[in-house]
Amino acid sequence: MARMEYSDRAKAGDRTREILDKNRNANIFRMMAHSPSYFEQYCRLGGAIRNKGELDPVLRELAITRTGILCESPYEVVAHQRIGKNVGVTDEQNAALDNWQSATCFTELQRAALAFTDEIVTRRSPTDATFNAIAAKLTPGALVELQLSVGFYIMTSKFLETFAIDLQPVTEVV
């Protein structure tokens, strides 16, 4: 159960209601809508991460889901396993993300991105070896997008857990 009430859609401004509608009134957004200006900017950056840029969507979703796992955020994991599946992440890959190091279903590039993700989440920053391994495989733009994706979803995972956002039925997860 959420730590505080979700925002009241009926009391929200037009722009906030429009963004909530676009995002299927998901619980995370209903909570975030308590701060309309932050909510709008959060959604703008989230939309850019998910819909713009050059980073391969499969790589992005593997990194985001792994971030949710490391941040112990079930809502994030469930949501991005679904999103990942829609962009080409296999069921085997989603199932293997808890222990990806011993799994054989990831490419060399995916393994480098997952190592990079692990170190961003669990350390102050990635080691030189880990950074250089992924930097050798991605363009500078894609590398920036990967780091920003992981950072954004660390923040999102922490938001979800701070407010104890309720999971939604699978058909409603964004």
CATH number of the domain that 75 lies in?
A: 1.20.1290.10
169 within some domain = no
Residues of the chain under the 50 pLDDT cut? 172-174
Rounded Cα distance between 106 and 76, Å, is 21
Same domain, 73 and 18: no
Q: Which helix H or strand E contains 156, and what residues bound it?
A: helix 140-162
User: Which structural domain range is residue 130 located in?
Assistant: 57-162
Q: Is 17 exposed, middle or buried (0-12, 13-18, 19+ CB in 10 A)?
A: middle
Confidence at residue 171, expressed as pLDDT on a 0 to 100 scale: 52
**pTM, to two decimals:** 0.92
4 within some domain = no
Same domain, 107 and 35: no
Same domain, 102 and 68: yes
Residue 161 carries which DSSP code?
H
69 within some domain = yes
Overall domain count for the chain: 2
Confidence at residue 170, expressed as pLDDT on a 0 to 100 scale: 54
167 within some domain = no
Interval 32-74: pLDDT, tens: 999 999 999 999 999 999 999 999 999 999 999 999 999 999 9
Same domain, 77 and 115: yes
Same domain, 100 and 44: no
Q: Do residues 3 and 145 make contact, with C-beta atoms less than 8 angstroms apart?
A: no
Same domain, 67 and 25: no
Rounded Cα distance between 25 and 9, Å, is 9
Same domain, 129 and 105: yes
Structure token pair of residue 162: 């701070």
Confidence at residue 173, expressed as pLDDT on a 0 to 100 scale: 44
